[in-house]
Amino acid sequence: MNEQSDNNQSSRESIEDTVDKEDEESFHDLWERIKDTQLSKLDETVELLEDEKILLDDNRMEDVYTWKIVLIGEGAVGKTTLRRSFFGENFTGEYLQTIGADFATKEDTIGSKNKVKFVIWDLAGQPRFKNIRKVFYTGAQGAIFVCDLTNQDSFNNITQWISELWNNNNVGPIPFIVVGNKVDLREEGVLTISDKIINEFTIKTSQETLKRYGFGIKSIITSAKTGYNVNKAFRSLAIQLIAHERHLAKQPKQSERPRVSTKDAVLKIDSPLEK
Ligand code: G3D
Ligand code: MG
């Protein structure tokens, strides 16, 4: 698999080629609706912080989680470097030749009683073909969206990436974290995407996802090159994944729930700010 040639593909082209027009709508629509709302009500964000406190302090029995997590984002933003940094030198993964993806597992403990196992999937190229997309996304329970802070375009397509994820994983809306990578280049005076733009996106999105799906969306600035905040990024996603699983556990069983498509689920959401 020639990664370089994939990276050279126009970022917009790489997604638009593959996403059915209809599929593209869901998360994209959600964002279109909330993007101009004011950030005046931050109650939900406060609630999110409370959630984290509960996760870390609770008196539950030991919980064990295994999650398939996919790394998504344009080429050359640092996904593979981030994964290497997280796994360290002793990385031993497996390579799935048919789709050109690596996957590897790592265990961690969140709080005192949550044993988590990350199964991280990383594609050599972009999921341009339908069969690749299916294998890559199916069963994913979480995602790390990576953008390059020195490349504004690498953040602009976030809604298409999340739509693609939510529409192809067979489960619907799942937690993701937004990673602004290559922060080390700020110190060298390179112009970078501001934290404010990313924060605004994640806070607004969290207000919706917390209410509907029981998880928030966090963002974090990393340097895969120096290792800065890399572990924290994965742990932060883990907290949202636990919150989501607990939310699902409180819902009626799948078989008792009316079946709605991802698109319908998203389109039915009312803006919390309109109430
Ligand atoms: P991808 O997997 O998203 O396609 P890669 O991206 O992990 O292959 O990284 C693309 C290039 O960005 C690599 O440079 C890599 O070293 C660099 N990179 C990744 N993360 C960082 C970071 O945090 N800081 C800096 N300064 N560079 C980073 P090369 O030159 O090897 O192509
Ligand atoms: Mg890569």
Query: pLDDT digit string (tens) for 110-155?
Result: 877 788 999 999 998 877 777 888 889 999 999 999 999 999 999 9
- Rounded to an integer, what distance in angstroms lies between the CA atom of residue 142 and that of residue 68? 7
- The residue among 92 and 8 whose pLDDT is bigger is 92
Confidence at residue 132, expressed as pLDDT on a 0 to 100 scale: 84
What confidence score (pLDDT) does residue 156 get? 93
Pairing relationship of beta strands 142-148 and 176-181 according to DSSP bridges: parallel
DSSP state of 254: G
Ligand 1 close to Cβ of residue 184 (< 6 A): yes
Phi, psi of 269 (to 5 degrees): -70, 130
> How far is the centre of ligand 2, averaged over its atoms, from the C-alpha of 219 (Å)?
20
> Coil, strand, or helix at residue 216?
coil
| Sheet strands (E) in 99-194 | 101-110, 114-123, 142-148, 176-181
In this prediction, residue 5 has a pLDDT band, given cuts at 50, 70 and 90, of very low
> With the C-alpha atoms ordered 90, 2, 78, 162, is the resulting torsion angle positive or negative?
negative
Are residues 37 and 204 in contact, defined by beta-carbon separation less than 8 angstroms? yes
We find that the CATH architecture of domain 61-247 is 3-Layer(aba) Sandwich (3.40)
Least confident of 98-102, 106-110, 265-269: 265-269
Q: In Å, how far are 73, 83, 92, 100, 156 from 3, measured between CA atoms?
A: 14, 16, 20, 10, 21
Q: What tokens appear for 220 in the block?
A: 């974090």
* Closest CA relative to residue 140, chosen from 173, 107, 99: 173
Q: Which ligand 1 atom lies nearest to the CA of residue 146?
A: 3
Cα–Cα distances in angstroms (integers) from residue 20 to residues 138, 155, 205, in the given order: 17, 21, 23
Is 79's C-beta closer than 6 angstroms to any atom of ligand 1? yes
Q: Whose CA is nearest to atom 32 of ligand 1?
A: 76
For 217, the token pair is: 């969306």
The owner of tokens 């931050």 is 42
For the ranges 45-54, 135-144, 164-173, 209-218, which has the lowest average pLDDT? 45-54
Tell how far the Cα of 103 is from the centroid of ligand 2, in angstroms: 12
Distance from C-alpha of 219 to C-alpha of 222, rounded to nearest angstrom: 10
Torsion 156-208-235-252 (CA) sign: negative
Mean pLDDT calculated for residue range 229-240: 92
Q: Which ligand is nearest to the CA of 101?
A: 2
Nearest atom within ligand 1 for CA of residue 7: 4
pLDDT of 53 = 62
Q: What's the mean pLDDT when you consider all of the chain?
A: 78
236 within 8 A of 94, measured Cβ to Cβ: no
Using the predicted structure, report yes or no on whether residue 201 has a pLDDT greater than 80.
Answer: yes
Q: Which two tokens stand for residue 158?
A: 């976030």
**Residue 58 confidence class, pLDDT cut points 50, 70, 90:** low
Kindly state if the Cβ of 78 falls inside 6 Å of ligand 1.
yes
- Determine which residue's CA is closest to atom 18 belonging to ligand 1: 78
Q: What is the Å distance from ligand 1's center to 148 Cα? A: 9
C-alpha atoms less than 13 angstroms from C-alpha of 143 in its C-beta half-sphere: 27
Ligand 1, residue 3: give the atom nearest the CA. Answer: 4
CB of 78 within 8 A of CB of 181? Answer: yes
The answer to whether 218 and 240 have CB atoms below 8 angstroms apart is: yes
Task: Output the pTM of the full model.
Answer: 0.81
Look at residue 39 in the predicted model and tell me its pLDDT: 66
Per-residue confidence (pLDDT) for residue 59, from 0 to 100: 66
CA angle 244, 229, 55 (to 5 degrees): 30
Contact 272, 207 (CB under 8 A): yes
Q: Which atom of ligand 1 is nearest to the CA of 181?
A: 23
| Alpha carbon 175 to its chain's center | 6
Q: Which of 81, 102, 191 to mutate to test the pocket of ligand 1 (most atoms within 8 A of CB)?
A: 81
Report how far ligand 1's centroid is from the alpha carbon of 224 (Å): 8
d(CA 191, ligand 2 centre) in Å: 23
